[in-house]
Structure formats: structure tokens, C-alpha cells
Amino acid sequence: MAASGTGSLVFIDDVTADRSSKMNSEVYRATHSAHIQPNATKLIGRRFTVQEGVEVRVARIFNTFGSRMHMNDGRVVSNFILQALQGEPLTVYGSGSQTRAFQYVSDLVNGLVALMNSNVSSPVNLGNPEEHTILEFAQMIKSLVVSRSHIQFLPEAQDDPQRRRPDIRKAKMLLGWEPVVPLEEGLNKTIQYFSKELEHQANNQYIPKPKAARMKKGRPRHN
């Protein structure tokens, strides 16, 4: 944390607070906590600026993946890569028609550095606007791993946003930043990292955690 009167402080805001497009706002409207979090970010930020003289920056980080991510955090990219590498079914929640847009971690780091070095104190979206369905992610990862895993459809997760895609016009205009790592390149790097990590596991196995608490009831189906 920056010392009194020096440097700047970056706050990580909740992506659901970005209401510039409807697709990012579903959870915001649905949950009370998502209402509190952005307000808290603003208030704490103002306090630091006024009382401590520390400059505040606010980053809204959209879906991010990459080498050194926690392999078992239950997110879609880590789950699919682990499953594909281990010949387990790739678990798609719902029909797989919901979309996400993923940025590679090095793009995010560059965005955060650009934000720190800027004088922009209002929230800035950092993410990759290239949008894909979850089923497309499953097929892409399966093919990059050259895996024989099949795709398993499980009941859809509760309150799962159907679309999420960042609007990064502000970051482009004010920070001169945009993501540069192509999705396939980022996925390949992450696959290599996961593959090496798996070799270090005692039994060479790592079972992805399902998001059990969020699942709706229903029967799994396969293709």
C-alpha cells in the first residue's frame, strides 16, 4: 500500500458495476452485495485521496486467465484445461451458449501499469472484448490439448450471467491500452504451465472443484 502522500493506489472494482451495457449488469441488479461494493470502492478511494493525499485509480478487471493461476479455483478456463489434460469430461454448465471474453494475464498487468501511470481517477474497464460462447471455449481447449475428453453438459449455474464483455473504449482512449495476446496463444501458454504443474503432483492428478453450491438441480447430458 502506498505511504501517506506518495504514489498511487489501485482499487479493484466489481465488473458488475459497469452498467454501460446490459450484458454486464445482470448480477448488479440481482444482488445487494454488488451494490455495496462499488460504493465502498468510491468512498474508500475518496477517503485516501482527501485524508492521505494518495492518488486513487480504480480498475474493473474482467475475466482473466494465464500461467500461474490457481489450478483448482473452479473457473472455466482452469477447469477445462485440467479436464482436457486428464482425459476427463469437460463440464459445461447449461447449454454452453452463455458468453465470456477472456484476457491473458500479461495484458492485464500492462493495463494496470498504464492505469497507475495515468491521471485517470474514475473506474476503467480492463479486459479483452473478444467474446466466445462457453461451448466454443470447451471445443477450443479440447482441440489445443489434442484431448479425447468428451463434453458433458451439467445443469446451469444459478444467476449465471448470459453475456459478459468489457467495453474498453475508455482504456484505449485514455491509457492507450488494449490487449495484444491472441486467445489461442494465451491458452497454449496456460496449457503448458498446467501440464508441467501436473507432473509435480504426487499422484499426477488434480480434480477440478465443481461449483456445487451454485448448481441448479437437473440431470447431466453428454454429447
Ligand X SMILES: O=C(O)[C@H]1O[C@H](OP(=O)(O)OP(=O)(O)OC[C@H]2O[C@@H](n3ccc(=O)[nH]c3=O)[C@H](O)[C@@H]2O)[C@H](O)[C@@H](O)[C@@H]1O
Instruction: List the one residue from 41, 79, 147, 190 that touches ligand X (CB under 6 A).
Output: 79
Residue placing its CB nearer to ligand X in the complex, 54 or 77: 77
Binds ligand X by CB under 6 A, chosen from 57, 60, 75, 165: 75
203 CB-near residues (< 8 Å, 6+ apart): none
Q: Count residues binding ligand X (CB under 6 A).
A: 16
* Residue spans of beta strands (DSSP E) within the chain: 8-13, 55-61, 64-65, 90-93, 99-101, 103-104, 124-126, 131-133, 151-154, 221-222
Stretch 131-170: interaction string toward ligand X, x if CB under 6 A: ---x----------------------x--x---x------
* Angle subtended by helix axes 183-200 and 76-85, to nearest 10: 60
Place of cell 482425459: 87
Contact code string over 1-30 relative to ligand X, x by CB under 6 A:
--------------x---------------
76 touches ligand X by CB under 6 A = yes
Cβ-count burial of 25 within 10 angstroms (0-12 exposed, 13-18 middle, 19+ buried)? middle
Query: In whole angstroms, how close is the CB of 92 to ligand X at the nearest point?
Result: 4
Closest separation between CB of residue 53 and ligand X, Å? Answer: 31
Burial 52-61 (b: 16+ CB within 10 A, else e): bebbbbbbbb
Q: Footprint of ligand X on this chain (CB under 6 A)? A: 15, 62-64, 75-76, 79, 91-93, 98, 100, 134, 157, 160, 164
